[in-house]
Amino acid sequence: DHGHGTHVAGIAAAAANNEQGGAGICPQCKIMPVKVLDGGNRGTWGTVAAGIYYAVDNGARVINLSLGASATSRTIQDAVDYAEEHDVIVVASSGNAASSLPYYPAAIPWVVAVGATTDVDALWAFSNTGDHIDLTAPGYRIYSTYNDLTVNGGYAYMTGTSMASPYVTGLIGLVAGMDNTLTATEIIDLMTANADDLGDEGKDASFGYGRINAYTTMVAANGGQEPTPPPTPEPPDEPEQPISPIPATGEFLFLPSVARG
């Protein structure tokens, strides 16, 4: 009912090869819509934690949290710990304040903290930084699904670390789908080892281990061989009205986020 979660969900898993809008990074991934904030992007750690428990208990492999706050709580920490105990990856946006102060849940151990890059691989000016940053991904003027069909037929541009986070989540979905025997730690290690190092050599406070590279990560996950792409389906004779392929409150195989992060 806000539009932010719809946009995030489309980045991760919007349908592809249908001549409508754009395509998500993992279009074959499934959406588990879980609403944790209201239409004004307000909520509590209790509602977010409840969403995490629900997603874990219902089979999510990865949870995306494009939301956050400057203060944490035991409630959200316990929920993240629960996800870790069940080998479920949690990905979160690092925040949009150009600050090096911790932003939660991104700064909680086990959470993959994601910063935003521009279209020229520079760090987006307002992307938060810090030693907890793990990876970066595109987050500047990202075109994706939107919940208002009067806005360009249900598609819009948005900017922020909230947009970067689902790129990471979607790539995790691709890797997990290629080899479902991989553990959460193994998937994260593949992501960080195959990211493009854009800042100081090695992990740094701006880019983490670097900007994700879907191609090199997928090749590494496939034992050094290029993965075989799925066949391209024939487009429909009469394309349907371009609407969002995902619920307005949902995201991807994971906890939706409807708050700016």
| pLDDT digit string, tens, across residues 78-98 | 999 999 999 999 999 999 999
- Asked whether residue 250 carries a pLDDT value surpassing 90, the answer given is no
Q: What is the CA radius of gyration of the chain?
A: 17
Pull the structure tokens for residue 220.
């590494």
Does residue 231 form part of some domain? no
The DSSP result for 86-127, as a single string, is: TT-EEEEE--SSS--S--BTTTSTTEEEEEEE-TTSPBPTT-
pLDDT in the model for residue 232: 56
Does residue 247 form part of some domain? no
The DSSP result for 160-196, as a single string, is: SHHHHHHHHHHHHHHHHHH-TT--HHHHHHHHHHTSB
How many domains does the chain fold into?
Answer: 1
| Amino acid (1-letter code) at residue 177 | G
Instruction: Summarize pLDDT for 115-168 with one digit per residue, the tens.
Output: 999 999 999 999 999 999 999 999 999 999 888 887 788 899 999 999 999 999
Does residue 161 form part of some domain? yes
CATH code, domain with 113: 3.40.50.200
* Domain interval for residue 167: 4-221
Does residue 243 form part of some domain? no
Q: pTM of the prediction?
A: 0.86
pLDDT in the model for residue 224: 86
Does residue 249 form part of some domain? no
CB 251 within 8 A of CB 144: no
Dihedral sign computed on CA atoms, order 62, 94, 52, 246:
negative
Q: Which of 117-126, 130-139, 181-190, 229-238 has the lowest mean pLDDT?
A: 229-238
Does residue 44 form part of some domain? yes
Does residue 251 form part of some domain? no
Does residue 197 form part of some domain? yes
